[in-house]
Structure formats: C-alpha cells, structure tokens
C-alpha cells in the first residue's frame, strides 16, 4: 500500500512539473493539433483538383462524353479551348492537362480504325502530371468501352468507405501514431534528465523510495497525459475538423495506446539512462525514433520490405501499434482480431521495462 501511495504522489509531482514546463506543453498542443491537421488536410497523395482543358475538334457525342468524364475531386471541370491557343496555354502553365480530340474521332471509332487523341501534360506539375496521365487513360478507356458495349459488359467499382479515396483520412491516424511514439520517448526521457540536471533526483534517493516506484510514476503520469491528448485529438481534430469517420471502438484504441505507451516510455527511460544531458539524449533518440516511424508499416507496407527487415521490425512496438490502430479505427476490429498484436505489445513492453529498470537502478548507484 505504501508503494502505491508513493507512486501516486510521485506521479502527481511529474504532472505538476509538466504543468510548469511551457515548452513541453506547447509541443504537446502542437503535436496533437496542428501537426495532425496540416498534413492530413494540406498534403494530397494522388491527383486532386487538377486543371484540364479540352480541344474538341470532333463535336460528337463521344468527345463530349470524354470531356464530361473528368470529374471532381480529381479534376476541375474541363474548359473548352480553341486549337490555336494550345501552345500558349501550355507555355503559361494555365492547365496541367490539355486533351486534343481530333475531327472524325467518333466515326473512326465506329469504323474500327483505332483513332488517336492527344493528351498534353505539363510535366512541371510532377506527381500530378505522372499520376494524372494514368488516371485520364483509365477513365477514357472505361468510357470508350462503355460506349462500345452500351454499358452492358462493364464491371463498376464503388468505394463504400472513403468514396473519394482521401489519403488524408489515413494520414491523420498515422500522424497521431507517430506523435504518440515521439512524445512517449521524449517526455519520459527529458523528465528523468531534467531531475538529474536540477539535482532533484538526488533528493528522491534520500527518501524511502525505490527505483521501481520512481520509474512507474514517470511512465504512468506521462502515459496519462498522452492518452488524454490522443482522445481529445481524435474527437476534435480527426473526427471534428477533418471529418474522418472512425468505425471502431475508441475505448479499445485508447487501451491499446496505454499498452503501447508502457513499452515506448520504458524505452525513453532506457535511453535517458545512457545519456548524461538532454542534448545527448536527443542525439540518441533520433536513430531510434526515425526507424520506428518509417519502418513500422505506416509509411511503407511491411510486405514491401526485405524479409529480414520484416522480422527485425516485429521487435518494435510501433509495428504492432500501427497494425492494430488501422484494424480498430478503420475496420472495427475487436479484441478477438487484434489480440496477437496486443499480446506482442505486452511482451515487448515487459522486456523493455525490465531492461530499463535494471539500467535505471545501476545509474542511481553509479
């Protein structure tokens, strides 16, 4: 009972210390608001709102149908453009795509003569140009097949979830996962180093406290702060501002987040025991955090990585957290589905905690 009381009081001390650290508070506010909303709302993966002009020299039903097939949100409404303005429009960068449909296009198509149309692309738009040209080719192919078969033999694909295929929906959740990883390591590591640099850690050692109590207090208090910030961010930023429909159980996700924080905060304490100052801790944290963010499956699918790297990343708690986050929030997976990842998180967390505790005890006596 005394140990629990000591841990609670130490946890309150950690929260009080964090409350007076304006820099970390601002970083928390930024990490769970602006750092999530800006990438999800501003960065678009794929073609979005691309400008298109159509030079229709055929003036047929097929040519009109092709022009009307380019619809938002991928493309702006197609603008009719005279042929003599083609070069000027491309030179000025007024349109990303200019499509030239030649005369007699429909009649040649019906006669089986394989007519050609020209798609002029402004390659300086880079990703829009590269991906947009493929989009236009597939859209035109679908429309021409539909015209030739009168729509009877075509398979229509419909996206029931995220019908406009907004990449920001998935990116918002991944940003939260990444920020949880960063903050879990930084908050606990800097909290330990701040006490060591200010001399308060020596004061704690004079008291009848154990290394386990000190470490549990730091993990629990910082985990509580991150879980609360995650919940507010999901409700206000992801669901409110971005309008992402989260299908799964928010309570299960927050419980999984707490389990993940148990592992990642222990890792932060371990790194802090290796460092002697906050700048040194930052240098140690960089080569640990970056692989956890880039190789966990959020940015690049695990299946596309070398087999040996896939096995190595199974030892990282972030790999399992990314997997169960997508399963819970997007696919409404329950405990019966994500229990292997939860079990892996628990095992990795216990291993990290034991290693960090042993290192922390040695650092207190050295």
113 in the same domain as 30:
no
The pLDDT tens digits of the residues spanning 182-226 come to 888 888 888 778 777 666 665 666 666 677 777 788 788 888 888
| pLDDT score of 231 | 92
End-to-end distance of the chain based on CA atoms, in angstroms?
A: 29
Question: Which of 28-37, 51-60, 180-189, 198-207 is least confident?
Answer: 198-207
Same domain membership, residue 199 and residue 100: no
Under 8 Å CB-to-CB from 39, ≥6 apart: which residues? 168, 171, 172, 175
* pLDDT above 70: residue 122: yes
Whether the upstream peptide bond of residue 185 has omega within 30° of 0, thus cis, is no
Residue 156 domain-assigned (yes or no)? no
**What is the strand order of the sheet 79-80 is part of?**
79-80, 52-56, 97-101, 118-121
Answer yes or no: is 159 within a domain: no
The residue that leads in pLDDT, 44 or 38, is 38
Residue by residue, DSSP assigns 57-120 as: SS-SHHHHHHHHT--TTTBPPPEE--GGGHHHHHHTT--SEEEEE-TTHHHHHHTT-----EEE
Q: What is the pLDDT of residue 360?
A: 79
The reply to whether 154 falls in a domain is: no
Most confident of 256-265, 304-313, 330-339: 256-265
Mean pLDDT highest for which of 38-42, 211-215, 257-261, 324-328?
Answer: 257-261
Residues 68 and 210 in one domain: no
Same domain, 130 and 231: no
pLDDT tens digits for range 263-300: 898 888 888 888 888 888 888 888 888 888 888 887 77
CA distance to 191, 236, 268, per residue, from 226 (Å): 14, 15, 14
Phi, psi of 207 (to 5 degrees): -75, 160
One domain for residues 126 and 260: no
pLDDT-based confidence at residue 156 (cuts at 50, 70, 90): low
pLDDT average, residue stretch 97-120 = 87
Cα→Cα distances 330→161, 173, 226, 292, 302, Å: 9, 10, 21, 22, 18
d(CA 187, CA 226): 9
> Would you state the structure tokens that stand for residue 94, as one six-digit string?
């007024």
Pick the last residue of a domain from 92, 116, 149. 149
Average pLDDT, the chain: 81
Lowest mean pLDDT among 28-37, 99-108, 226-235: 28-37
Considering the domain boundaries, does residue 61 fall inside one? Answer: yes
In this structure, the answer to whether residues 353 and 233 fall within a common structural domain is yes
Tell me: do 187 and 282 sit in the same domain.
yes
In a domain, 157, yes or no: no
The pTM for the full model equals 0.71
pLDDT at 339 over 80: yes
Confidence class for position 169, pLDDT limits 50, 70, 90: confident
Domain end, chosen from 93, 115, 149, is at 149
Q: Residue 37's Cα: distance from chain center in Å?
A: 11
26, part of any domain: yes
pLDDT at 163 over 80: no
Lowest average pLDDT, out of 10-19, 46-55, 186-195, goes to 10-19
Residues 333 and 187 in one domain: yes
- Which residues touch 113 (CB under 8 Å, ≥6 apart)? none
**pLDDT tens string 298-327:** 777 777 788 888 898 898 899 999 888 888
Q: In percent, how much of the chain has pLDDT > 70? A: 86
Q: Which of 350, 335, 193 is nearest to 275 (CA)?
A: 193
Compute φ and ψ for 98, nearest 5 degrees. Answer: -125, 120
Check whether residue 302 and residue 193 sit in a common domain. yes
Q: What is the mean pLDDT of residues 26-38?
A: 83
Q: How far is CA 279 from the centre of its chain?
A: 27
Q: Which of 27-36, 111-120, 127-136, 292-301 is the least confident region?
A: 127-136
Does one domain contain both 136 and 200? no
Range of the domain at 311: 2-43+165-365
Q: Is residue 158 part of a domain?
A: no
Confidence at residue 139, expressed as pLDDT on a 0 to 100 scale: 86
Displacement of CA 302 from its chain's centroid (Å): 15
Q: Report the length, in residues, of the chain.
A: 366
Whether residue 358 is found in the same domain as residue 246: yes
Residue at which a domain ends, from 101, 117, 149 = 149
* Same structural domain, 292 and 332: yes
Q: 347 pLDDT exceeds 90?
A: yes
Domain CATH for 117: 3.40.1710.10
* Rg, C-alpha atoms of the chain: 28
**What is the maximum span of the chain, computed from C-alpha positions, in angstroms?**
95
In a domain, 160, yes or no: no
Kindly indicate the confidence band of residue 153, based on its pLDDT and cuts at 50, 70 and 90.
Answer: very low
Q: Tell which residue, 174, 322, 342, has the closest CA to residue 244.
A: 174
- Count how many domains the chain has: 2
Confidence of residue 1 (pLDDT cuts 50, 70, 90): low
Inter-axis angle of helices 127-149 and 61-68, to 10 degrees? 140
Supply the pLDDT for residue 343.
Answer: 93
């Amino acid at each position: 009972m005394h140990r629990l009381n000591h841990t609670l009081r130490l946890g309150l001390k950690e929260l009080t210390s964090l409350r007076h650290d304006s820099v970390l508070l601002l970083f928390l506010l930024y990490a769970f608001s602006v750092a999530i909303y800006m990438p999800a709302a501003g960065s678009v993966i794929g073609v979005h709102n691309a400008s298109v002009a159509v030079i229709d020299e055929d003036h047929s039903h097929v040519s009109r149908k092709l022009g009307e097939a380019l619809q938002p949100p991928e493309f702006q409404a197609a603008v009719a453009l005279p042929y003599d303005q083609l070069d000027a429009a491309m030179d000025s960068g007024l349109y990303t795509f200019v499509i030239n449909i030649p005369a007699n296009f429909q009649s040649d198509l019906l006669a089986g003569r394989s007519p050609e149309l020209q798609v002029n692309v402004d390659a300086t738009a880079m990703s829009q140009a590269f991906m947009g040209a493929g989009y236009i080719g597939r859209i035109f192919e679908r429309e021409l097949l539909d015209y030739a078969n009168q729509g009877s033999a075509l398979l229509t694909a419909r996206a029931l979830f995220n019908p406009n295929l907004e990449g920001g929906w998935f990116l918002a959740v991944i940003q939260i996962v990444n920020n949880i990883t960063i903050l879990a390591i930084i908050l606990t590591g800097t909290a330990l180093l701040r006490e060591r640099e200010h001399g308060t850690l020596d004061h704690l050692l004079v008291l009848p406290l154990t290394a386990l109590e000190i470490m549990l207090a730091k993990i629990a208090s910082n985990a509580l702060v991150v879980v609360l910030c995650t919940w507010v961010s999901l409700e206000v930023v992801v669901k409110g501002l971005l309008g992402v429909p989260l299908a799964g159980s928010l309570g299960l996700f927050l419980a999984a987040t707490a389990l993940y924080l148990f592992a990642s905060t222990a890792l932060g304490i371990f790194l802090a025991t290796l460092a002697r100052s906050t700048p040194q801790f930052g240098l140690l944290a960089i080569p640990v955090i970056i692989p956890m963010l880039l190789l966990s499956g959020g940015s690049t699918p695990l299946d596309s990585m070398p087999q040996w790297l896939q096995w190595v990343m199974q030892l990282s708690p972030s790999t399992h957290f990314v997997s169960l986050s997508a399963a819970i929030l997007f696919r409404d997976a329950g405990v019966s589905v994500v229990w292997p990842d939860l079990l892996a998180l628990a095992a990795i967390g216990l291993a990290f905690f034991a290693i960090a505790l042993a290192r922390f005890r040695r650092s207190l006596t050295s």
